[in-house]
A and B are shown apart, each in its own frame.
Chain A
Amino acid sequence: MVEKIPDQENFFKNELLKITKPARYIGEEWNILVKNPSQTTCSVVLGFPDIYEIGMSHLGLKILYQILNDLPGVRAERAFVPWPDLGKLMKEKSIPLFSLENKIPIRSFDIVGLSLQTEMNFTNILYFLDLSQIPFRSSEREDDFPIIIGGGASTCNPEPISDFFDAFLIGEGEEAFVEIIQIVSAMKGQRKGDILSELAKVVGVYIPSFYQVGYSKNGIVSKIQTMNKRAFPQIQRRWLKDLDNALYPEAIPVPYISIVHDRIPLEISRGCTRGCRFCQAGMIYRPHRERSPENIVHLAEKLVASTGYEEISLLSLSSTDHSRIEEIISNLSRRFEAKNVNISLPSIRMDTFSVQIAQNLKRVRKSGLTFAPEAGTDRLRRIINKGLTDQEIFSTLEKVFEGGWDDVKLYFMFGLPDEKESDLIGISQLVNEGLQIGKKIRGKRVSIHLNLSAFVPKPHTPFQWIGQNSLEEFEEKIQRIKAGFSRDRRLIRMNWSDFKESTLEAVLSRGDRRLSRVIEKAYHLGQIMDGWREFFSFERWKLAFEEVGLDYHFYSERWRDPKEILPWDHISSGVKKEYLLKELEKSRRQEVTPRCIHFQECMSCGVCSS
Chain B
Amino acid sequence: MYSFSGMYELWGLFIMNFTDRYRYRCRHLKLVPFHLLSQLDLTRFWDRVLRRAGLPIVFSQGFNPRPLLSFGPATVTGVISWTEYLDMTFYEFIEPEQLKNILNSQVLEEMRVVEVNSIPLDFPSIMKSLISVQYAFIFKDEGNIGNHQVLFSIEDIEELERKKMEKQECMISFLFKKKNILLNPYKSLEFMPKESGFNRENLVEIIKQNYYWF
Contact = CB atoms under 8 A, between A and B. Distances in A.
Contact of A14 (B45, B65, B184): B184
Interface in A251-306: 254, 256-258, 304-306
A338 B12 contact: yes
Interface string A320-354: 00000000000000000011100000000000000
B171 A338 contact: no
Interface string B159-172: 00000000011111
Contacts of B32: 12-13
Given A17-B78, A20-B169, A338-B13, A26 B63 contact: no
Nearest to A338: B9
B33 A28 contact: yes
Given A17-B170, A256-B44, A308-B51, A366 B63 contact: yes
B140 to A, nearest CB: 10
Contacts of B52: 30, 305-308
A307 B41 CA distance: 15
Contacts of B66: 310, 340
Contacts of B77: 22-23
B212 A9 contact: yes
Interface in B165-188: 168-172, 183-184
Contact of A17 (B40, B63, B172): B172
A311 to B, nearest CB: 11
Interface in B76-92: 77-78
Contact of B169 (A12, A18, A256, A364): A18
Contact of B33 (A26, A30, A304): A26
A338 B169 contact: no
Interface residues of B, number: 43
B48 A338 contact: no
Contact of B38 (A23, A305, A309): A23
A22 B48 contact: no
Interface string B44-68: 1101111111100001000111100
Contacts of A23: 36-38, 41, 77
B12 A305 contact: no
B150 interface: no
Interface residues of A, number: 32
B22 interface: no
A26 B32 CA distance: 9
A256 B170 contact: no
Contacts of A85: 169
A553 interface: no
A16 interface: yes
A223 interface: no
A19 B63 contact: no
Given A19-B169, A22-B77, A310 B41 contact: no
A19 B169 CA distance: 5
Contacts of A306: 52
Nearest to A254: B48
B135 interface: no
Given A12-B32, A307-B48, A310-B47, A28 B65 contact: no
A365 interface: yes
Contacts of B40: 258
B44 A258 contact: yes
B78 A22 contact: yes
Nearest to A19: B169
A309 B59 CA distance: 15
A256 B45 contact: yes
Contacts of A258: 40-41, 44
A257 B48 CA distance: 12
A256 B10 contact: no
Contacts of A365: 63-65
Contacts of A305: 52, 54
Interface string A527-564: 00000000000000000000000000000000000000
The residue in B34, B40, B48, B172 that gathers the most chain A C-beta atoms within 10 A of its C-beta is B48
A22 B13 contact: no
A17 B35 CA distance: 10
A603 B174 CA distance: 66
Contacts of B108: 28, 30
Contacts of A307: 48, 52
A364 to B, nearest CB: 7
B50 A338 contact: no
The residue in A17, A23, A28, A30 that gathers the most chain B C-beta atoms within 10 A of its C-beta is A17
B96 to A, nearest CB: 21
The residue in B110, B169, B210 that gathers the most chain A C-beta atoms within 10 A of its C-beta is B169
A173 B75 CA distance: 43
B65 A340 contact: yes
Given A338-B10, A339-B9, A365-B64, A309 B48 contact: yes
B152 to A, nearest CB: 20
Contacts of A20: 168-169
The residue in B36, B48, B77, B169 that gathers the most chain A C-beta atoms within 10 A of its C-beta is B36
Contacts of A30: 48, 52, 106, 108
A12 B34 CA distance: 10
Interface in A588-605: none
A220 to B, nearest CB: 50
10 closest Cβ contacts across the A-B interface?
A308-B48, A308-B52, A338-B9, A308-B51, A26-B33, A22-B36, A17-B78, A17-B171, A23-B36, A256-B41
28 contacts: A9-B212, A13-B33, A17-B36, A17-B170, A17-B172, A19-B169, A22-B78, A23-B77, A26-B34, A28-B33, A28-B34, A28-B110, A30-B52, A258-B44, A304-B51, A307-B52, A308-B48, A308-B49, A308-B50, A308-B51, A308-B52, A308-B53, A309-B48, A310-B48, A338-B12, A364-B65, A365-B63, A366-B63
Given A26-B36, A309-B51, 16 more contacts: A13-B32, A13-B183, A13-B210, A17-B171, A22-B77, A23-B37, A85-B169, A256-B45, A257-B37, A257-B38, A258-B44, A305-B52, A305-B54, A307-B52, A308-B51, A364-B65
